[in-house]
Amino acid sequence: MNANAGIQAAPAAAKNRRKLVGRVVSDKMQKTVVVKVERRVQHAEMGKTVTRSKKYHAHSENGQFREGDLVEIAECRPISKTKSWTVIRLIEKSKAL
């Protein structure tokens, strides 16, 4: 008798996708926003804390996010050559008018 016979497999849940938080720096494309994610790392030789940043193209179906908004993005399947992220939620609306 198999030891695992009585154990049911859990239903296929969503993968643990990478999630990042950043600011929208461009919303000029259709259904795409550019999100700048900043992280603080310690320099290997100096020991000083340095800010590193990277820009990601993220899919925004409704085009509801504007420049300056703080958003959370998650990794997804490649949608285009440069776009492999999707916007999950709005964290903070831009204060600029």
- Assigned domain for 13 exists: no
- Which domain covers residue 48, as residue numbers? 19-92
| Residue 81 within a domain | yes
CATH code (residue 83): 2.40.50.140
Per-position pLDDT tens, the chain of length 97 = 555 555 554 445 566 789 999 999 999 999 999 999 999 999 999 999 999 999 999 999 998 999 999 999 999 999 999 999 999 999 999 887 6
Residue 69: inside a domain: yes
The predicted model scores a pTM of 0.79
In a domain, 9, yes or no: no
Give counts: helices (H), strands (E), the chain: 0, 5
Q: Name the domain count of the chain.
A: 1
